[in-house]
Amino acid sequence: MLRSAVVSLVTVGILATGARSQSAVVTLKYFGAAGWEISYGTTVLLIDPYLSRLNGPRPPGAPPSAQHDRDTRPAFGWADRAVSDTSTIDSHVQRADFILVTHTHYDHVLDVPYLAAKTHATVIGTESTENVLRAYRIAEDQLITVRGGEDYEFGTFSLKVIPSIHSALDHKHYFSSATAPRGMTAPLTLEQMHPEGGTLAYLIRFRGHQILVFGGMNYIEREMEGLRPDVALVGAGASRKEIHDYSGRLMRALHLPALVLPTHWDDFTAPYGASQQTSIDAVQDFVREIRVASQKTTVIVPKYFEPIPLAAPK
Ligand SMILES: [Zn+2]
């Protein structure tokens, strides 16, 4: 099974050849939730990096965590102060140049103030996201506020900011038009770092690759028109089933990207060491959906922190 998987990866040219060192190719690493590191050499981009994995509130409509009874950590409620697990973060993130945030929910933004202060990375996100950073006194020159539609050049990469929409949680009853206001002061509660503030997707053009990044289980189909990513990080949690032909419409709109990496499919309220078997079993349906929609697409279910090197673009 493993062997055939490797052969198919090599066939479609996703994996780098053994002769290349990882530092010479674009490499992705999954942090859990919607969190990723995308790096090339010393250039490091982080996406929705959330490593603290607090025993916190679950999304609306989500069943209780399979780990709930075994989790001996303190439980965090909405009124509790957000606290980053700095030792876990420090053991996995040494540097970052840019941090891209898709929306202002705590499982996307909670660790961004600590990471921005630690790495001095530039944080790109909505006004809502930047107001959370301002509460933690992150310098204004580290903040780039976007709303969707921008296409920015940064030298080592370019970034198309894509208007998007949030997962249809709680059987489509989730809705938020709330934005985190200016003028908040840290430390913030989980509730204060949880007004959605609108949702974005990002197309990162980096070293010949085009990497499309989502932070959840929805998209605006017309915003996909004209995009030709070779890699797509696609929300694969259960709420995608609320969306009509979620995987099929997306794969067709994107003209069948070579590689899909499922994101936001794990139980982010469970610590790293806990079993994710329930989520791993559930995500296999997503893998099948993508294979049905696009036989030429490779799907890799990422393991936490395991490097996924991309082949040099053709
Ligand atoms: Zn969210």
Task: Calculate how far, in angstroms, residue 254's C-alpha sits from the geometric centre of ligand 1.
Answer: 23
> Would you say 216 and 34 are in contact if contact means Cβ atoms under 8 Å apart?
yes
Q: What would the pLDDT profile of 39-81 be if each residue is shown by its tens digit?
A: 999 999 999 999 999 999 988 888 888 877 888 999 999 999 9
Task: Calculate how far, in angstroms, residue 216's C-alpha sits from the geometric centre of ligand 1.
Answer: 7
**Separation between Cα atoms, residue 66 and residue 71, nearest integer Å:** 10
Task: Calculate how far, in angstroms, residue 166's C-alpha sits from the geometric centre of ligand 1.
Answer: 6
Task: Calculate how far, in angstroms, residue 149's C-alpha sits from the geometric centre of ligand 1.
Answer: 20
Task: Calculate how far, in angstroms, residue 103's C-alpha sits from the geometric centre of ligand 1.
Answer: 7
Q: Which residues are within 8 A (CB) of 303 and not within 5 positions of it... i.e. 6 or more apart?
A: 30
Task: Calculate how far, in angstroms, residue 108's C-alpha sits from the geometric centre of ligand 1.
Answer: 7
Task: Calculate how far, in angstroms, residue 311's C-alpha sits from the geometric centre of ligand 1.
Answer: 31
Mean pLDDT of 109-116: 98
Q: What would the pLDDT profile of 116-166 be if each residue is shown by its tens digit?
A: 999 999 999 999 999 999 999 999 999 999 999 999 999 999 999 999 999
Task: Calculate how far, in angstroms, residue 105's C-alpha sits from the geometric centre of ligand 1.
Answer: 5
- Residue of 108, 144, 110 whose CA lies nearest to 126: 144
Task: Calculate how far, in angstroms, residue 176's C-alpha sits from the geometric centre of ligand 1.
Answer: 10
Give bridge partners of residue 213 from the DSSP assignment. Answer: 202, 233
How far is C-alpha 131 from the geometric centre of its chain's CA atoms? Answer: 20
pTM score, whole prediction = 0.92
